[in-house]
Amino acid sequence: MDWAFLFEISLTGIASGGLYALAALAFVMVYKATRVVNIAIGELLMVGAYLFFTFSAMFALPLWLAIPAAVLGTGLLGALIERTMIRPLLGEPPISVFMVTVGLGSVLVGLVEMIWTADQRRLPDFMPSQPIMVGEAFLAPKVFWGAVIAVVFIAAVLLVFRFWRGGVALRATASDQAAAYSVGINVPRVFSLAWVVSAMLAAVSGIVVGSIGGISSSMGVFGLSVLVVVIVGGLDSVLGALVGGLFIGLVEALAGAYLGGEYKLLATFIVLVAILMVRPYGLFGTHEIERL
């Protein structure tokens, strides 16, 4: 048993898990506020990465301009999406909104392919490139720094939720819109905000993921792993996104290393099936009880 190898793989797994956690956070943000399962989260990630590519590689903007521009641009897209296709479906069964996000994913993939073609591209490097060594274990620098960025953002979001009354407003609108209205919360504004923040987080995630593995119009498949992460963690749990992300990152890294690359997604989906059978609401999700 090669413990050093195991340690190295686990380290990589946990670090990439941090990235999953960030993307999962974007997902949870929208679900917590609007009860919408946004399966196009992977595609929003992709848009963020492509916007960064456009601003930095195509328009040659400096990094300190390109990154915020990409993030804000995606945020704007999030607001647009919420206004045009999510809000009209308020009150419809959740499956309808889910299908809208499926359609959205298609539209975004098509747009990316149309504007930038389906070819794979590389993002400009902006992270330090010395290899990171933990003892004898090697950790790819991009993965490490990506995880650091993810942790910073996750911590920021957790703090904001804890101390800012907007976080409470978010939770209030999720549980009871009418009641939230009646205590003076501007519900539509909260919805928009949730989607904007979610899109921006997805963009950050996308930029990091794209920096590691390149960008392509099929990047959205990352979203499927994120879906598993949030199911494992609980659709409305920020902590769950973190724990779930780390866990799935680990599972995928181990499966990839010991079984082979094509087993990664399979392992993830087997975890999904297992969790759905044993604890469908995830490790930290809230169980909604139906009344007869």
In the set 22, 37, 139, 147, which binds another protein (CB under 8 A)? 37
Q: Is 113 exposed, middle or buried (0-12, 13-18, 19+ CB in 10 A)?
A: middle
- What's CA 61's distance to the chain center, in Å? 26
In the set 104, 190, 208, 255, which binds another protein (CB under 8 A)? 104
The answer to whether the beta carbons of residues 196 and 170 sit under 8 Å apart is: no
In the set 66, 231, 243, 251, which binds another protein (CB under 8 A)? 231
Strand stretches in 71-158, DSSP E? 132-134, 137-139
Query: Which stretch in 2-10, 128-136, 155-163, 270-278 sits in contact with another protein by CB under 8 A?
Result: 270-278
- Measured between alpha carbons, how far is 172 from 168 in angstroms, rounded to an integer? 6
Query: Which stretch in 16-24, 59-67, 188-196, 274-282 sits in contact with another protein by CB under 8 A?
Result: 274-282
- Measured between alpha carbons, how far is 10 from 39 in angstroms, rounded to an integer? 28
Total residues binding another protein (CB under 8 A): 40
Rounded to a whole number of angstroms, the minimum distance from the CB of residue 96 to another protein is 5
Residue 69 engages another protein in binding (rule: CB under 8 A): no
Rounded to a whole number of angstroms, the minimum distance from the CB of residue 242 to another protein is 20
Rounded to a whole number of angstroms, the minimum distance from the CB of residue 105 to another protein is 7
Of 117 and 186, CB closest to another protein: 117
Phi, psi of 121 (to 5 degrees): -130, 165
Q: What angle do CA 40, 53, 212 make, to 5 degrees?
A: 75
Residue 266 engages another protein in binding (rule: CB under 8 A): yes
Of 149 and 267, CB closest to another protein: 267
Write down the residue that tokens 């359609």 correspond to: 103
Q: At 46, which amino acid appears? A: M
Residue 107 engages another protein in binding (rule: CB under 8 A): yes
The answer to whether the beta carbons of residues 228 and 264 sit under 8 Å apart is: no
Rounded to a whole number of angstroms, the minimum distance from the CB of residue 237 to another protein is 15
- Measured between alpha carbons, how far is 75 from 78 in angstroms, rounded to an integer? 5
Residue 2 engages another protein in binding (rule: CB under 8 A): no
Residue 218 engages another protein in binding (rule: CB under 8 A): no
Q: What angle do CA 245, 27, 80 make, to 5 degrees?
A: 150
Binding site for another protein (CB under 8 A): 37, 85, 88-89, 92, 94-96, 98-100, 102-114, 118, 224, 227, 231, 262, 265-266, 269-270, 272-273, 276-277, 280, 290, 292
